[in-house]
Chains A and B, each alone.
Chain A
């Protein structure tokens, strides 16, 4: 079973990945409407 801190450190990566996805979505919205 993976230890808890290791799982926890991953959420740092996830928060950055989520924000990259937001920016990509913004670019998509711009492409569609701007």
Chain B
């Protein structure tokens, strides 16, 4: 990091914070603070929704995912546009008509208080854990590569977010997310064109795509029915659809974004914008990862991108074995570079040489074997080490190959993404605590100012909890997996409650509560048995909640008839 990088990074982040505070100064009531005065235009809603979903991990992990496994991950988002349409048709008009501050308020109007409390508590548990992670995940990666103090990083990211969310609430989150998305997209576009510029002189974009294709990185859509393959067209359309429906339709960190829209139509247009742009955006981020892969076909590549893993092996008895593997990889890289250059020459003469393609595949397979051996050595040297290095690929490229100034901008991209997701998380946690728990249970008549102060207090409280959770993140092994599992366990039930509320008028309060409670217990049991991937728990949970609540309603109705 040079001085210019520090200047770019600090100025960008401080500008966003100061702009957020300045733009939202002045007196506020609860509607201003939680719903942003319902003044947000559709493009701000759209950008805000996209910025909330795109956390720092999106920009660190996704290119690394493409580097190792190719473009197939984009299929995970195929269900998103369908979910956007369903939410626009059903969820948004109902939320606006009932003038709710949070999604869970609707549940009391449709069912009863206990259902509302159940859903809001499930949300607070999972989002409370998730918001800590949005700070912790980039901090641990940047601290490993730059030697920055992890706790200090957690505190800096957290405090910057608290300053503007505390001061301006939802409006501050919306206006800063616009700047953050601008920084993010500018940084990513510049990086993309710079990678192309860093490729060998006579390498065209089409040649780069051919090289990626020869290494199986361009297998974008998979129509197979193999349940072993995680990302296929079918899993994206079904599993992805249910996941996106629950995330965008019932998670207050997203619902809060579009409830701040000027009107029903502005909220709907914001989500439709997300439906138009999300798949191409993810495709573009994955393509950056694929171009990084092509770049490393002509440049020295480490055996494992996580520097901590190398340090762990260096301090163990496996040091010499590891060095041996490194030497083998160096030789292999040289060989690969020569064949790639030859392949490129043939491509320039309009000849896609099948023999060279085969050789490239064979060399890639050898490289994967070397990496696997290295992972085994790392695991032997340090049993707790995370040997999967996909989160470190892109940041390794940024820090070692980008020019001065752009490194600072790319770090600002990563921290902006972390801040935008954290800000949405904290405001959603604060508004749910204030509206669904505090306001619903507080005794006596309180004025508007009291509830604004209470929401501000909860913003501060959840901000501090998120920082504390991020600071103790190292105590938990594989934190991301933990949070994803917790999310999948609870999301399905919450979505099921909302779907019954919207579409099955026949089911009443007691039946949905019984159905949701039994469904949640069954999900716990299925998780304990470990018979399906946790990604499917979401779908199973929502279906179970719907079916069990209908059965419960039939049972309760027949019981009432008998009693009469």
Does any Cβ of A come within 8 Å of B376's Cβ?
no
CB neighbours of A19 from chain B (8 A): 78, 81, 275, 279
207-229 of chain B: CB within 8 A of chain A = 209-210, 212-213, 216, 218-221
Instruction: Say yes or no: A33 contacts B265, CB within 8 Å.
Output: no
Taking chain A's interface residues, is the majority helix, strand, or loop, or is none over half, making it mixed?
A: helix
A27 to B74, CA, bound (A): 12
Does any Cβ of A come within 8 Å of B89's Cβ?
yes
Instruction: Say yes or no: B81 contacts A33, CB within 8 Å.
Output: no
Most buried by A among B74, B219, B269, B276: B276
A27 to B269, CA, bound (A): 28
Interface size class, chain A: 10 to 19
Nearest-Cβ distance from residue B346 to partner chain A, whole angstroms: 15
Instruction: Say yes or no: A16 contacts B78, CB within 8 Å.
Output: no
Most buried by B among A8, A18, A34: A34
Q: How many A-B residue pairs have CB under 8 A?
A: 56
Q: Which B-chain residue is minimally distant from A18 (CB atoms)?
A: B276
A2 to B219, CA, bound (A): 43
Q: Which B-chain residue is minimally distant from A16 (CB atoms)?
A: B81
Nearest-Cβ distance from residue A23 to partner chain B, whole angstroms: 6
Taking chain B's interface residues, is the majority helix, strand, or loop, or is none over half, making it mixed?
A: helix
Nearest-Cβ distance from residue B69 to partner chain A, whole angstroms: 14
A26 to B82, CA, bound (A): 18
Instruction: Say yes or no: B85 contacts A12, CB within 8 Å.
Output: yes
Q: A12-B85, A16-B81, A26-B220 are in contact. Are A34 and B74 (CB under 8 A)?
A: no
Fill in one digit per residue for A10-34: 1 if any B CB lies within 8 Å of its CB, else 0: 0110011011001100110110111
Contact of A23 among B212, B221, B269 (CB under 8 A): B221
Instruction: Say yes or no: B88 contacts A12, CB within 8 Å.
Output: yes
Instruction: Say yes or no: A15 contacts B272, CB within 8 Å.
Output: yes
A20 to B287, CA, bound (A): 19
Q: A8-B265, A16-B81 are in contact. Are A34 and B218 (CB under 8 A)?
A: yes
Interface size class, chain B: 20 to 34
A19 to B85, CA, bound (A): 12
CB neighbours of A32 from chain B (8 A): 209, 213
Nearest-Cβ distance from residue B215 to partner chain A, whole angstroms: 10
CB neighbours of A16 from chain B (8 A): 81-82, 85
Does any Cβ of A come within 8 Å of B280's Cβ?
yes
CB neighbours of A22 from chain B (8 A): 279-280, 283
CB neighbours of B82 from chain A (8 A): 16
Instruction: Say yes or no: B283 contacts A12, CB within 8 Å.
Output: no
Q: Which A-chain residue is minimally distant from B213 (CB atoms)?
A: A33
Instruction: Say yes or no: A23 contacts B218, CB within 8 Å.
Output: no
CB neighbours of B71 from chain A (8 A): 26
Does any Cβ of A come within 8 Å of B183's Cβ?
no
Contact of A29 among B84, B220, B233 (CB under 8 A): B220
CB neighbours of B219 from chain A (8 A): 30, 34
Q: A12-B85, A15-B272, A16-B82 are in contact. Are A33 and B210 (CB under 8 A)?
A: yes
CB neighbours of A27 from chain B (8 A): 220-221
Nearest-Cβ distance from residue B389 to partner chain A, whole angstroms: 25
Q: Which B-chain residue is minimally distant from A22 (CB atoms)?
A: B279
Instruction: Please give 10 more A-B residue pairs, beta carbons under 8 A apart, in addition to A11-B272, A33-B218.
Output: A12-B85, A12-B272, A15-B272, A15-B275, A18-B81, A19-B275, A19-B279, A29-B218, A32-B213, A34-B220
Which B residues are within 8 Å of any A CB, using their own CB? 71, 74, 78, 81-82, 84-85, 88-89, 209-210, 212-213, 216, 218-221, 233, 265, 268-269, 272, 275-276, 279-280, 283
Provide a sorted-by-A list of 8 A–B residue pairs whose CB atoms are within 8 angstroms: A12-B88, A16-B82, A18-B276, A19-B81, A19-B275, A30-B220, A30-B221, A33-B210
